[in-house]
Chains A and B, each alone.
Chain A
Amino acid sequence: MTTVSNDRGPHHRSAERRPEDALAADVLRVMRPDGSLDPAADPHLSDAEVLELYRAMVRTRVVDERAVALQRQGRIGFHIGSLGEEATIVGSAFALRPQDWLFPCYREFGAALLRGLPLERYFDNLFGNAGDLAKGRQMPDHWCDRAHRLGSVSSPIGTQITQAVGFAWAARLRREDVVALVYFGDGATSSSDFHNGLNFAGVYRTPTVLLCRNNGWAISVPTARQTASEGFASKGAAYGVHGVRCDGNDLFAVVRACREAIARASRGDGPTLVEALTYRMSGHSTSDDPKAYRPEGEVARFGELDPIERLRAHLVLRGQWSAPAEAALHAELAEQVRACLAAAEQKPAPALASMFEDVYAEPPWHLCEQREALLAGPRAKGHGG
């Protein structure tokens, strides 16, 4: 009789996220602690590109902080942000080519803005107003924007993974060079869609980039509770899917890992599972208070790896950063946010009748009946119609 032994014992916690994970030998890193780049791994971004990405990351954080404040003031109902995950989110979206598509989870508004979602549209979504592309039907941060090749955010965890695999598979069946990149969290790797997605992607060699934002937490559940393996990239192997880990707070490492994955997919060499080691510096969302479960000092320890500060250190070395330029950037962003927010906040709620649109391509009799009944009936408190 053979027995399977687990040499780390039944209670090992090998997937626990620690800041030093990013230093492991199998983790792709480009930026050194002093802000310089490892020439062997450097993806060679131009000065203009690096500046654009820095601005995009700072914008993501500024908008994030503003959205949290709006929620606290009761002006929007909810926000789920990306504090600390900006390099993973912005770097991966940047790596896409114009023809590629992005299947979001719910923290990637920074990627959407980079790919062209207008900031005002994003605020429209937060307010759920008549200007929202999703017509105010979904919660804040559940946006969509087909024109910019951005999928539709859904709350149920993991569902987008198989869909991105199918989307890329279809492109391959049509002999078109299109890659789909899909975001999901460490928690989502426990969903059946993660396993189905990897399996189908592997079997059909679909041109998909599966990007796992390993931010250490799934609400209050630590990464070590999602898997007994050491991290997530290794899960690719069993499905015949190439897996890589990168330092998700190192913009250059994210760009490099994703560019390689996209090139591989485009060549017909199949999917890649990219695990980006990052950290959720905020609570799960505005509904969550992490004090109840997050160890004291953890944010401070990961804060040392703040992706924006690391990129700034690099800009300084590159001679591309100055205090006046930083101040000007913040002033410019503050004005952009102010204008878009003001425009969005004054837009009306979606029209009542719009509730019945898009259930089907054409509303059947019963929905027409229900619509007429609603319109003819009394209004709920606080709804002018």
Chain B
Amino acid sequence: MAQMNMVQAINDALRLEMKRDDRVVVLGEDVGKVGGVFRVTAGLYDEFGEERVIDTPLSEGGIIGTAIGMALYGLVPVPEIQFADFIFPAYDQIVSELAKYRYRSGGEYPCKMVIRTPVGGGIRGGHYHSQSPEAQFIHVAGLKVVCPSNAADAKGLLLAAIRDPDPVLFFEPKRVYRAAKGEVPEGDYTVPLGQAKVVRPGKDVTIVTWGAMVYEALDAANKASVEGVECEIVDLRTLWPLDIDSVVGSVKKTGRLVVVHEAPRSCGLGGEIVALVNEKAFLHLEAPPVRVTGFDTPFPYTLEMEYLPLAHRILPAVLATAKY
């Protein structure tokens, strides 16, 4: 085991898989020589050369469109979009093409890649360096969506994603890129897609969350514990298809649900989780499910810490749900 932060763990996974499978290519803006603006691809250019670690022109549509072509030919592209906020010029290629290739060709053309991109706020990034657009991809049939909260999961999930037969959006919570430091197993291992993890067991309230908000939920859970309320925190890890058994199982135990996500409230993944729990565990509920989320506004700059669903907003929601 080695101590790594999330940046190092993702870098480790990329290096390992590029050594193991020579079809894997990394492409994107600034990913080559400089190793990415967050240094996630650092050293790969020197190790694997400019044909496998490719600095591209500034065009996300170009990056994903050509990556689709590479995938159709038989390569395994792992494109990086510099910030999730800049994925939209590629939205057409992702939504109209990548997501539908297998289906529209009757299974003749499976088309897979892993699109890595940093998400989330709390880094003073304003409108365009802070967003969490996962729901805008979950709503598209054919895409898998992953968001790790810690270094060990990030490595194992990325290796699983690259080996998965379907296209995966791999959202990296940049606020904890360096802060999420921990033991990371050496060598090859995967964290299977579609499996959530209970990161804190508890009997009173279930908190479902992912990414950087896992730490806020833990903070709130510790404070709730002082007041005699024990939270169970489910870190989804794979956002779609989500681990329905873990979510429903936990809610059946606690009878109470709080979903926490950074993305705007309306039509966010939280809404879907609440609907699923209502459908599958209605008679177990002791309180109305609650969402603690970003607001339905563009992501603000100066007021970002008021926008984010941090511990100070999670705690009262948890306590109110527990007392309901």
Contacts and interface: CB of A to CB of B under 8 A. Distances in A.
Interface of A: 77-78, 128-129, 136-139, 142, 154-158, 187-188, 190-192, 218-221, 225-227, 287-288, 292-293, 349-350, 352, 354-356, 359, 366-367, 370, 374, 377-383
Interface in B16-42: 29-30, 32-35, 37
Contacts of B37: 219, 287-288
Interface of B: 29-30, 32-35, 37, 55-59, 61-62, 85-86, 88-89, 124-129, 265-266, 295-298, 300-303, 305-308, 310, 312-313, 316
A380 B305 contact: yes
B29 A139 contact: no
B33 A220 contact: yes
A137 B301 CA distance: 5
30 contacts: A78-B124, A137-B300, A139-B126, A139-B127, A154-B128, A155-B86, A156-B85, A156-B89, A156-B128, A157-B86, A187-B58, A188-B58, A191-B59, A192-B61, A220-B30, A221-B58, A287-B37, A292-B33, A292-B35, A349-B303, A354-B303, A355-B306, A356-B295, A359-B297, A367-B295, A367-B297, A370-B296, A379-B312, A381-B305, A383-B305
A352 B302 contact: no
A367 B303 contact: no
Identify whether the interface residues of B are mostly helix, strand, loop, or mixed: loop
A377 to B, nearest CB: 6
Given A137-B127, A355-B307, A356-B297, A370 B59 contact: no
Contacts, number: 134
A360 to B, nearest CB: 10
Contact of B313 (A190, A367, A377, A382): A377
Identify whether the interface residues of A are mostly helix, strand, loop, or mixed: loop
Contact of A225 (B57, B295, B307): B57
A250 B33 CA distance: 32
Given A78-B124, A188-B58, A352 B306 contact: yes
A354 B37 CA distance: 32
Contacts of B127: 137-139, 142, 155
A77 B124 contact: yes
A359 B61 contact: no
B67 to A, nearest CB: 15
A350 B126 contact: no
Nearest to A159: B89
A129 B301 CA distance: 10
Given A77-B124, A138-B127, A378-B316, A128 B301 contact: yes
B89 A377 contact: no
A350 B127 CA distance: 16
Nearest to B34: A220
B62 A190 contact: yes
Closest 9 CB pairs of A and B: A155-B128, A190-B57, A139-B126, A136-B302, A220-B34, A380-B305, A128-B302, A187-B58, A77-B124
A350 B301 CA distance: 10
Contacts of B266: 366
Given A139-B126, A155-B127, A355 B30 contact: no
B303 A383 contact: yes
A380 B34 contact: no
A379 B315 CA distance: 12
Contacts of A154: 128
B59 A155 contact: no
A293 B34 contact: yes
Nearest to B39: A292
A366 B264 CA distance: 12
Contact of B310 (A158, A220, A380): A380
A158 B57 CA distance: 13
Given A139-B126, A142-B126, A156-B88, A381 B312 contact: yes
B298 to A, nearest CB: 7
Contacts of A218: 29, 58
A136 B300 contact: yes
Contact of A380 (B29, B125, B312, B316): B312
A169 B25 CA distance: 43
B176 to A, nearest CB: 17
A139 B123 CA distance: 11
Contacts of A227: 57
A374 B59 CA distance: 38
Given A190-B59, A218-B29, A292-B34, A380 B306 contact: yes
Contacts of A128: 301-302
